[in-house]
Amino acid sequence: MKWLSKRADRQLAAYQRELIETHFAEVENMYRQIRGWRHDYRNHIQVMKAYAAAGNLKAIRDYLDQLDVDLTTVDTVIKTGNAMTDAILNSKISLARSRGIPVRADAQIPVALRISELDLCVVIGNLFDNAIEASLRLPPEKRLIRIYMDMKGTQLYISFTNFTAEKKLAKHGGRFFSTKGEGHGFGLLRMDSVVERLGGYLSRNSEDGAFTTEILLPQECSSSPKTNNSSPD
């Protein structure tokens, strides 16, 4: 059975590379937009100066309205205090909104995290990708993703909630599985393995048409890991 284990390891490694490359592309695109807006900043100032010299206040107001809309598309909407978390969340929020999925996020990380950037990318990236994938099966007016991140004592608390087409998702063998089809469950397995390796806590719950994943990750030397399907205290 060793060859099955090696095959799974190769598939997980391939998925991990794909995940990192995807996040890099999303973040790079976001910052490319920001650099482009900054590059055009001087030109925008010159245009408004010309309107001001002509005494055309209406043109200035209209131009400022256009700039406000344009800036909203590239502004960093989440500032948690952790650079990698900001990069992942903002790129995914931008992706979700481009697909017509509203996102409500409350995320604060006032301390330096001990979790590696790679592990953080795997956990948050998978949570967000699964929420987006589930939301796209709903009509636009029913789509919503809620995110909450903060420290609970010495542990990083992460909560993702999204609405689903089903009132309550079914479990198989005590676990929820990806609905993306064969070959797409490695993200969940990878995320679970990261939480377990870090001695964390993971809970998944499906109730009243909403699916919630809660994770606690110790940020100092810790105890034995646990993973179950009940809510943390």
Q: Block means of pLDDT (10 residues each) for the chain, length 233 residues?
A: 59 61 62 68 84 91 81 65 81 86 90 82 88 92 94 93 73 49 61 91 89 90 42 40
Q: What angle do CA 121, 125, 128 make, to 5 degrees?
A: 150
Show me where the domains of the chain are located.
1-75, 77-227
Q: CA–CA separation, 144 vs 164, rounded Å?
A: 10
pTM, entire model:
0.64
Q: What pLDDT score does 203 carry?
A: 92
- 3.40.50.300, 3.20.20.70, 3.40.190.100, 3.30.565.10: which CATH number matches 77-227? 3.30.565.10
Quote the CA–CA distance of 202 and 41 in Å, as a whole number.
45
